[in-house]
Structure 1
Amino acid sequence: MVRNKFKQWVECSIELLNKEFISTEFVKHKLDESHIPNPSTGVIHESENCLGQITVWESSQMEYEVVNIETEEMILWKYFEKLSLDSDFSIVLKEYFEVLQTGLKP
């Protein structure tokens, strides 16, 4: 399950991201997951310049976005229809983290 793999990857990456001055927070859902047809795991990141959010659904879809804090402009948005179980999130999210740190459009 890609979603569980993503959650584990995030948990293992928190310390490294903190060293890069990027905070990480899991999105907390108020509803019981068993009542949701396609539950998701979401993460919010904050850097000096930007806010970012990544969502991975049980169906292996993924979406991420980065917004410039100062201008409130969305500077990056990407959607993946289906991630494979062997996806390397460090590679898939490389552009996301570059934009999150620099605040510059790709």
Structure 2
Amino acid sequence: MKVGCLLLLFAAIAAVMVGQAAGQGCSYTFFSSLVQLIPCRPAVSPFSPIPPSEACCNSVRMLGRACLCVLVNGPPISGVDRNMAMELPAKCTANFEPCNLWTP
């Protein structure tokens, strides 16, 4: 548990720099966006058959495309399948285009 929290914190700190540099309109930091999407964790765990909850979908809609894309394109997040995270807007019927993966 402590190791997972430390890894998450490390990824969040490292990604703040990435997110701020490539934020493209996201008004939240990487870490606060990540915290907002905690209800989505069961739906984006690798091989999870669980659909996103209403709380997850509300968070996705509130954050918007820019913040979700910063998260998807940031450093890897332990226990999160990026492909499943990229499907959240469609699964939540959010009115924005899915994220594209950025390449260096």
TM-score, normalised relative to structure 2? 0.36
Structure having greater relative contact order (Cα 8 Å, sep ≥ 6): 2
TM-score, normalised relative to structure 1? 0.36
Q: Normalized per residue, which structure has more strand?
A: 1
Q: Normalized per residue, which structure has more helix?
A: 2
